[in-house]
Amino acid sequence: MTEQANPDGPLPERIARAITLAGPIPLSQYMGAANTHYYATRDPLGTRGDFTTAPEISQMFGELVGLALADLWDRADRPDCHYVELGPGRGTLAADALRAMRSAGLTPPVHFVENSPALRAEQAKAVPDAEWSLDLVGIPDDKPLLVVANEFFDALPIRQLVKTQQGWRERLVACQDTLFIPVIGNTIFDPIIPPQFRDAEDGSILETSPPSVAILRALAARLLQQGGAAIVIDYGYAGPAIGDTLQAVRGHAYVNPFEDPGEADLTAHVDFGTLIEAARVEGLEAYGPVPQGAWLRDLGIEPRADALTRSSPDRAADIAAARDRLTGDDAMGELFKVVALTAPGWPIPAGFGE
């Protein structure tokens, strides 16, 4: 779907009209509208796109995810399973993971949760026999699930609450012509603020992501009912915590999130503390967050890089650079974190110690 094909006009005009008619909108509504349009209309990944994810850096990433899942499945006595991926991008992670799983004797049917038509088309090239759903409701309910979500939760909408002299109030988005500006709403949220943040200094921001919690709870319900496990990888923190993490990325650079909605990737850091709490309340076991670098080393990225280098010596420098980018403390190794969730009775996934 192109901008011109939309009879209601370009996205900024549509958001501006909604604000003019009904007043400033919550940040979550702005972020949701912007990202739905953004992902629906392009493949944003890779050097010629807006950002590069771990599976696009090296095949080692998806292979190690696949081997971790195959190991877990093996220790769970090899039940029939489905592979499920949330927001699979170009399908690269899935293709690499499925190849590695196949070498370990695991060949599950593949189900992608994806709402972007543009990315579904890319995914179909990488994994032709996949099936697609818009949400977890469409995923089969008959067998255990092996679920992967890499850089999925960061793209889901957040709300921001701001501490003011009058108390905690919500950050909203207003507009002047088609210029969007963050403003502060009047409603006071103090009663729902966790006690440790009540006295935070003025200007402090507390983020929540209602859609992330809703999806996590739906996933938990399925894992409880069917068995299985989920591996969630993203940049984030063990929150809740004070901090403004909203960012917009376009052409591999940070841009203003309130300019050109729908033309940049809007994300926020993932509050793993809250996701883990939600999983445990539902009855799942939760492990992590562990830093991505330590996790990949535990899963064997060093020997995998060595083996790749032996079979393609001319690519030695590229392979070493990719390994360092995925694991280095100053690259993705510390900022990105991994959480595993399992149904009760399932083994502890590799990479989470014992």
Among 30, 83, 152, 352, binds ligand SAH (CB under 6 A): 152
Residue nearest to ligand SAH (CB): 87
Positions of E strands within 177-294: 179-184, 205-208, 228-237, 247-250, 253-255, 265-267, 270-271, 285-291
Judged by CB under 6 A, the chain residues 17 through 46 that form the site for ligand SAH are 35, 39, 45
Of 115 and 309, nearer to ligand SAH (C-beta) is: 115
8 A C-beta contact, residue 159 and residue 27: yes
52/204 with CB nearer ligand SAH = 52
Nearer to ligand SAH, 193 or 220 (CB): 220
Which region, judged by CB under 6 A, interacts with ligand SAH, from 1-9, 151-159, 236-244, 342-350?
151-159
CB atoms within 10 A of CB 328: 13
Asked if residue 116 binds ligand SAH (CB under 6 A), the reply is yes
Going by C-alpha positions, the residue among 274, 279, 277 that lies closest to residue 223 is 279
CA-closest candidate to residue 35, choices 209, 186, 187: 209
Q: Is 150 in the site for ligand SAH (CB under 6 A)?
A: yes
Between CA 326 and CA 305 the distance in angstroms is 12
Q: CB-wise, 152 or 287, nearer to ligand SAH?
A: 152
Q: Is 89 in the site for ligand SAH (CB under 6 A)?
A: yes
Is residue 245 a contact partner of residue 269, using CB atoms and an 8 Å limit? yes
> How many of the chain's residues bind ligand SAH (CB under 6 A)?
19
User: DSSP character for 218?
Assistant: H
Residue 114 binds ligand SAH, judged by CB under 6 A: yes
Nearest CB to ligand SAH, comparing residues 59 and 116: 116
Does position 93 interact with ligand SAH (CB under 6 A)? The reply is yes
Contact flag: residue 289 with ligand SAH (CB under 6 A): no
User: Other C-beta atoms within 10 Å of 237: how many?
Assistant: 16
